[in-house]
Structure 1
Amino acid sequence: MSNPYRNGDVPLSEISSFRIPYGNHPSQYGDLRLPTSLGRSPIVVSIHGGFWQSKYGLELNDPIVEDLTRRGYATWNIEYRRVGENGGGWTGTFDDVIDAINQLTQLEKSYPLDLSRIVILGHSAGGHLALWLASRNHTQNDAFEKTLRIPIKHVISLAGITDLKRTWEIHLESGLDGSLVSSFLDGTPHEVPDRYRLASPIEQLPIPATQLLIHGELDRHVPVELSIAYHQKAVEQGAHVRLLTLPEAEHFQLIDPASSAWKSVIDSLETLFSE
């Protein structure tokens, strides 16, 4: 279905915003934004980055979800428990993002949402969680208590952390005093190898969803090599995956609505919704 508001001209007076909990913890909530004049809207679920650390929150993605809502999409910008909060990290963060997605089945009862058209969009650590969520369509195991009740058909990973073990190695090679990945999983790949295997998107391939990887070649926070390696393995395993590398883009330009990189994201999103 074509989008009549692709240029972002939904009037602000026709946009409603709601902060809605999906659990009892202060970080278990999402911000739902709706273009109220358009009827049942396709949904972009937004998952923010920040290396899963509690000092970074969903406001990182506020500019892009505001832009997306002006373009006619409903947006569900989710918060989740992170490292530094009670219950964050292994396995609470994973449980939270599943619960936040499942909450859409309740929101549909009260708001004009089209659950047949959902794209999960994650940036950086949020890209990791988005790809991991898509793997839950066909993978269940005893490490995670929650069951995903909504099939995920489309994912956009913006500079996503696709390989947790390799990211841990990159941090080690960079001379960091402790990897943010080991803080997230509460251990190194040598100490808790099963956690790295179960939580890393590259270890879940092939994932039964259309996956689009967008990564800036100038990214110093999450090297583009992670998306390149993931794409190569996914293609070898027959996954429906595409890779778009942006030669002039760095990490945060992918979530800057004023950047040319964001235009690439918008064009890709429209392609996914038209499939």
Structure 2
Amino acid sequence: MSEVLVVAGPGVVADPGLLAEVAEREFAALGVRGELVHARDPAHLRSLVIGGTVVLPGPSAEARDLIGRPLGPVVWVDIERADGVTTGEGATHLHGRGVGGLAWGIRHAVHRTRHPSRRVSYGPSPEQWGDLYVPAGAAHAPVVALVHGGYWRSIWAADIMEPLCADLLGRGLAVWNLEYRRPDLHGWHATTTDVAAGLAALATPALQDAATGGEAAPGGGAGAFGGDSPLDLRRVVVAGHSAGAQLALRAVADGARVALAVSLAGVLDLVEGDRRWVSSGAVAAALGRRSTQEADPGEETAGVYAGASPLLRLPLGRRQLIVQGAADDLDLVDFSRRYARAAQEAGDDAEYLEMPGDHFAVITPSAPIWQATARAITAALT
């Protein structure tokens, strides 16, 4: 993609100059030409929307009606939270990330043009899918399954892992970028079962069809890849970022078979995460339980925490790489250091990698900490 059109619909509540600054900064960072246009009314907005456009629809009912129409791969961005929005086929809806959400929308539009993937459903929900990337001419390529974070909240989605998809693909690795139902809308059980099902989906005919360029069928059945598959399911890595690391390591503890589990700035101690009220009580909210800070939280609550917290599931019996930026939230640094030490003491093969970088450096391809992580992943798969 060399050109990006961003359209702000009528009534968008944001400073026009700030929107322009965000857009221009992303255009420059991505090396694309771009333009931001403010639509006068819904009719003008409709005339500007084509596949690939990034659109802030605004509050108008007529403008929002366009979101569900078959207008191609439009990236719809609501800067406020807007749950339950259904898009037309091929379109994407990002929401709840504030004015900065425009930057994510532009990144997503450029990424999916530069790095086409095949989307495969592993269940009936609109949020039960993964994007599969396969290197050109791949022959039994190792697979890295990515689990995004966002403190288990639905405003964050699989698009935040797309820079890693491109980087890993360039290293000759296949990538399975997993989406799942988040607990704020669907409950903790839906989230954990989705991650398990999403990882298990790697061994279904639907993924084989997608990997070989065939039509990917929703859901898929049981079975394993044949010998001509471009994917090597004996060499699978699962890597999760932040809350996604908790989900990834919990899935491994529950029996997901992987060659390596990678935590990228993970929330690995849910008991202390709750006690320290990380991200304004995100842990208790996600698990749907009373906080462990309360008097007598109950045996059931204690059991949920024991099953969910990676620290309490040790040993995992799988090789692990715990990656942590030194400039991240100090509680996350503490969780990662204590988890890595406990994993080693429990007999797990666990390597700890801490380098300069903040919470997002570990998922930024140009950052030294990600470069070191990618080298470790590649080495583990050879």
TM-score (norm 2): 0.61
Structure 1 position 264 matched with structure 2 position 372: yes
Is the partner of 2:370 in helix, strand or coil? helix
What corresponds to 1:81 in structure 2?
A: 181
Task: State the identity %.
Answer: 32
Q: Is the 8 A contact 1:217 1:223 kept in 2?
A: no
What's the offset of the Cα at 1:134?
1.1
What's the offset of the Cα at 1:30?
0.4
Structure 1 segments of 4+ aligned residues over 3 angstroms from their partners: 12-16
Closer/same/farther in 2, CA of residues 15 and 256 from structure 1, 3 Å limit: closer
TM-superposition CA deviations, 1:25-75 (whole Å, max 9, x none): 111000001113122211000000100100000001011111111211110
Q: Is the 8 A contact 1:108 1:115 kept in 2?
A: no
Amino acid of the residue matched to residue 244 of structure 1?
A: L
Amino acid of the residue matched to residue 208 of structure 2?
A: K
What corresponds to 1:114 in structure 2?
A: 232
Q: Unpaired runs of 5+ in structure 1?
A: 1-11, 138-147
Return the alpha-carbon distance in structure 2 between the equivalents of residues 49 and 17 of structure 1. 21
Is the partner of 2:150 in helix, strand or coil? coil
What corresponds to 1:102 in structure 2?
A: 200
TM-superposition CA deviations, 1:167-226 (whole Å, max 9, x none): 112227xxx7x5100110011222511110011111111111000001011102752110
What corresponds to 2:287 in structure 1?
A: 185
What corresponds to 1:227 in structure 2?
A: 336
Q: Is the 8 A contact 2:315 2:343 kept in 1?
A: yes
What's the offset of the Cα at 1:84?
3.0
Alignment of 1:42-191 (within 5 A): 42-85=142-185, 87=186, 89-106=187-204, 107=206, 109-110=208-209, 111=211, 112-137=230-255, 148=256, 151-171=257-277, 178-187=280-289, 188-189=291-292, 190-191=297-298
Return the alpha-carbon distance in structure 1 between the equivalents of residues 332 and 196 of structure 2. 27
What's the offset of the Cα at 1:159?
0.5
Q: Is the 8 A contact 2:120 2:207 kept in 1?
A: no
Return the alpha-carbon distance in structure 2 between the equivalents of residues 202 and 77 of structure 1. 25
Is the partner of 1:103 in helix, strand or coil? helix
Larger radius of gyration: 2
Q: Is the 8 A contact 1:27 1:81 kept in 2?
A: yes
Is the partner of 1:37 in helix, strand or coil? coil
Closer/same/farther in 2, CA of residues 16 and 60 from structure 1, 3 Å limit: closer
What's the offset of the Cα at 1:117?
0.7
Q: Is the 8 A contact 2:235 2:258 kept in 1?
A: no
Alignment counterpart, residue 117 of structure 2, candidates 8, 17, 20: 17
TM-score (norm 1): 0.84
Q: Is the 8 A contact 2:145 2:175 kept in 1?
A: yes
Return the alpha-carbon distance in structure 1 between the equivalents of residues 141 and 306 of structure 2. 36
TM-superposition CA deviations, 1:8-39 (whole Å, max 9, x none): xxxx9996510111001111000001113122
What's the offset of the Cα at 1:83?
2.9
Return the alpha-carbon distance in structure 2 between the equivalents of residues 58 and 221 of structure 1. 25
Superposed CA RMSD: 2.0
Which of 1 and 2 has higher RCO (CA within 8 Å, sep 6+)?
1
What corresponds to 2:218 in structure 1?
A: none
TM-superposition CA deviations, 1:67-119 (whole Å, max 9, x none): 1112111100000001332x2x3211000001001111114532221101100
Closer/same/farther in 2, CA of residues 83 and 213 from structure 1, 3 Å limit: same
